[in-house]
Amino acid sequence: MSEDGSRDSRSVDSQHADNTEGCEEHGITLGVPYTDNGISASRFSTKSRDDFVRLVADLENDMFGAEVLVLWENSRGSRKVSEWALLIELLEAKGVRVFVTCDNRLYDPAVPADRKILQSAAIDSEQESYKTSMRNRRTAKREAQKGRPYGRAPQGYMPVYDPQTGDLVNWVENPDESHVPKQLFTRLRKGHSLRSIAKDFEKRGYRTRTGKPFSEQHLRDMALRPTYGGYRGHSPKSRGNSFKAKHQQVELAKATWDGLVDEETFWAVRRMLLAPERRTTRTGRAKYELTGTITCGVCSGKTTIKTKGYQCDEKGCVHLSKAKVDEYLIGTADEPGLILAYLSSDQVYQDFAASPQDEGRVTQIRADLARLRAEKAETEGAEPETLAEARMFARTVANLEKKITKLEAEERALTMPSVLSDLIQPGADVAARWAQAPVSARRQVARLLLCPEVLGEVVIIPGRNLSVAERLQRRRSQPDMTQAA
Smallest CA-to-CA distance from 267 within 362, 180, 357 is with 362
98 and 106 Cβ atoms separated by less than 8 Å? yes
Inter-residue contact 129 to 43 (CB < 8 Å): yes
Residues 329, 57: Cα–Cα separation, whole Å: 64
Q: What are phi and psi of 423, to 5 degrees?
A: -80, -60
Q: Which strands form 309-312's sheet, in the order they lie side by side?
A: 303-306, 309-312, 319-321
User: Which contacts (CB < 8 Å, 24+ apart) does range 107-116 have?
Assistant: 115/88
CA distance 273 to 422: 14
Q: What is the pLDDT of residue 370?
A: 75
Please check whether residue 462 is in contact with residue 318, taking contact to mean a CB–CB distance below 8 angstroms: yes
* Residue 321 vs residues 94, 129, 219, 328: alpha-carbon distances, Å: 74, 65, 36, 11
Give dist(CA 48, CA 245) in Å, integer. Answer: 20
**pLDDT number for residue 476:** 85
Q: What is the pLDDT of residue 107?
A: 93
Look at residue 41 in the predicted model and tell me its pLDDT.
40
Which helix (H) or strand (E) segment holds residue 234: the answer is strand 231-234
- The answer to whether residues 437 and 424 touch, using CB atoms and an 8 Å cutoff, is yes
Percent residues over pLDDT 70 in the chain: 79
Residue 253 near residue 373 (C-beta atoms within 8 A) = no
Cβ–Cβ under 8 Å, residues 141 and 237: no
Whether the Cβ atoms of residue 1 and residue 36 lie closer than 8 Å to each other: yes
Could you tell me if 273 and 223 are in contact, meaning their C-beta atoms sit under 8 angstroms apart?
A: yes
Helices 179-189 + 263-274 axis angle, to 10: 60
Query: Please, are residues 86 and 56 in contact by the beta-carbon 8 Å criterion?
Result: yes
User: With left for phi above 0 and alpha for psi between -120 and 50, is residue 266 left, alpha or beta?
Assistant: alpha
Beta bridge partners of 302: 295
Reference 41, options 6, 65, 69; nearest CA is 6
Q: What single-letter amino acid sits at 99? A: F
pLDDT one-digit tens code per residue, 34-61: 876 544 444 434 444 578 888 889 988 9
Question: CA separation (Å) from 371 to 68, 248, 359, 377, 378?
Answer: 55, 15, 19, 10, 11
Q: In the chain, which residues have pLDDT < 50?
A: 1-10, 38-48, 279-284, 480-485
Torsions phi, psi of 203, nearest 5? -65, -35
Whose CA is closest to 292, among 271, 306, 313?
Answer: 313
Q: How far is CA 229 from CA 200, 224, 261, 267, 351, in A?
A: 23, 9, 6, 8, 29
Q: Is 206 helix (H, G, I), strand (E, B) or coil?
A: coil
Any bridge partners for residue 363, and if so which?
A: none
For 252, the enclosing helix (H) or strand (E) is: strand 251-254
Residue 261 near residue 185 (C-beta atoms within 8 A): yes
**CA separation for the pair 303, 290 (Å, rounded):** 9
What residues contact residue 181 under an 8 Å CB cut-off, 6+ apart? 155, 156, 222, 223, 228, 260, 261
